[in-house]
Each structure stands twice: as structure tokens, then as C-alpha cells.
């Protein structure tokens, strides 16, 4: 399935939340999320712009997701992707599922954390995400590109500033290669993997 989602970078989170409230969006929650990404030992998924993500959603749910960048033209985030493929299921236990992937022969690419504030309006999700080492950004996810366009207009965002790519490309725009990192945490910062 295609994930229909855009990002707007380097936002003022307080101002965006006031705007969300003014357009009738409802604050759905605030979450601390953590996840691990997995790949084959030869990183063949990464070479295709894909990965497996195990994420503790911070709301007593854990998801297992296959993601693949569609129409990937730039690893550095200079050019938007065409979209994102996403296949997701719920699993019952973060640590046991991670162990299961290790037993299957996958390797952990990295562990990461973020803080998310979710707002919702008419089925559209507005997530204000804060990652270690990045300015907050807003992610808008909907079931159609028309809903995305409507949401952008409601928030009076500049359509030309929208980004269609992963959080790794947001880091890449800052000169940070996530492939070199083993951990991205609020407490420890950005930790490079051993060579």
C-alpha cells in the first residue's frame, strides 16, 4: 500500500499547534516512540531504499512495518521521492519481536527515538515530530493526495516546501548519514556504529 504523507521541516511547533487548533483539529496525544530497523547482513533492503521497522508507538501498541521509498532519486533529500510503500501489522511485544528478527538472521541497523504530538481533523493526522539533533517538523498523513493538498492550504503552508521522503533524508539534509549511526537517542545523542 502507498503511504500518503508529506513533511514540512523546521517548523515552530507552538505556532503550528495554535494553527491546528484554529482550524478545528483535535489533539489526540503526545508520545515517546522508539524503534529498531532491520536489514539483511548485506544490507540489500537499504540498497533498494527499503527497511523493516519495529516500533513501540508509545501508546501501548507495537507495529512491524516494511517501508520502501518509491521513485527514489536522492539519498541526500535533495529531491522528493514519488512516495512510500508501507505494509504494517501489529505485534504483541517489542523485545521478543526484535529477538525473533535476530534469530531469522537479520541485523539491527539502528535504534532510534522521537517525540510525537498528534493532532487529527477529518481523518487526517498531523504529527509534530521531534528527533534528537533535528528541529521539529510536521508530518501530514491522509488517505488521498487531495486531502493532503486541503490540509496544506488550511495550515497556510507553502506547497513548494513539502518533502516526500523518510526521516533519514531529513538527517541527510543536515549532513548526517544515518547509515553510520547505531543509536539516535535523546539521552545519548547520535552514536556512530563501530567501523
pLDDT at 110 over 90: yes
CA quadruple 146, 151, 154, 156: dihedral sign: negative
Q: Is residue 56 part of a domain?
A: yes
Structural domain harbouring 12: 2-187
Using 50, 70 and 90 to split pLDDT, how confident is the model at 166?
confident
| Mean pLDDT (whole number) for 115-140 | 97
Q: Is residue 110 part of a domain?
A: yes
More confident residue, 83 or 137: 137
Using 50, 70 and 90 to split pLDDT, how confident is the model at 77?
low
Q: Is residue 31 part of a domain?
A: yes
The H or E element spanning position 32 is strand 26-39
**Mean pLDDT over the full length of the chain:** 94
What pLDDT sits at residue 195?
64
Query: Which pLDDT tens digit goes with each residue over 4-60?
Result: 999 999 999 999 999 999 999 999 999 999 999 999 999 999 999 999 999 999 989
Q: Is residue 147 part of a domain?
A: yes
Q: Is residue 195 part of a domain?
A: no
Q: Is residue 193 part of a domain?
A: no
Between the alpha carbon of residue 97 and those of residues 47, 65, 185, the distances in Å are 24, 12, 21
What pLDDT sits at residue 69?
87
What pLDDT sits at residue 81?
81
Pairwise CA distance, residues 137 & 57, whole Å: 18
What pLDDT sits at residue 83?
85
Q: What is the CATH number of the domain that holds 156?
A: 2.40.320.10
Q: Is residue 137 part of a domain?
A: yes
Domain count of the fold of the chain: 1
In this predicted structure, which of 75-84, 135-144, 161-170 has the lowest mean pLDDT?
Answer: 75-84
CB atoms within 10 A of CB 148: 20
Q: Is residue 194 part of a domain?
A: no
The pTM of the full predicted model, rounded to 2 decimals, is: 0.89
3-state SS assignment for residue 172: helix
What pLDDT sits at residue 145?
95
pLDDT at 65 over 90: yes
Amino acid at each position: 500500500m502507498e503511504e500518503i504523507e508529506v513533511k514540512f521541516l523546521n517548523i515552530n511547533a507552538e505556532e503550528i499547534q495554535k494553527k491546528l487548533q484554529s482550524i478545528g483539529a483535535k489533539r489526540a496525544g503526545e508520545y515517546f516512540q522508539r524503534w529498531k530497523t532491520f536489514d539483511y547482513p548485506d544490507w540489500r533492503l537499504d540498497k533498494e531504499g527499503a527497511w523493516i521497522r519495529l516500533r513501540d508507538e508509545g501508546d501501548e501498541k507495537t507495529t512491524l512495518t516494511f517501508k520502501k521509498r518509491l521513485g527514489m532519486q536522492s539519498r541526500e533529500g535533495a529531491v522528493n521521492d514519488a512516495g512510500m510503500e508501507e505494509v504494517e501489522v501489529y505485534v504483541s511485544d517489542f523485545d521478543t519481536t526484535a529477538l525473533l528478527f535476530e534469530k531469522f538472521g537479520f541485523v539491527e541497523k539502528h535504534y532510534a527515538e522521537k517525540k510525537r504530538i498528534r493532532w487529527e481533523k477529518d481523518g487526517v493526522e498531523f504529527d509534530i515530530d521531534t528527533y534528537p539533533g533535528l528541529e521539529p517538523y510536521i508530518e501530514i498523513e491522509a488517505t488521498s493526495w487531495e486531502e493532503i493538498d486541503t490540509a496544506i492550504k488550511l495550515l497556510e503552508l507553502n506547497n513548494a516546501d513539502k518533502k516526500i521522503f523518510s526521516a533519514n533524508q531529513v538527517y541527510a539534509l543536515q549532513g548526517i548519514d544515518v547509515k553510520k549511526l547505531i543509536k539516535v537517542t535523546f539521552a545519548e545523542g547520535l552514536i556512530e556504529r563501530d567501523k
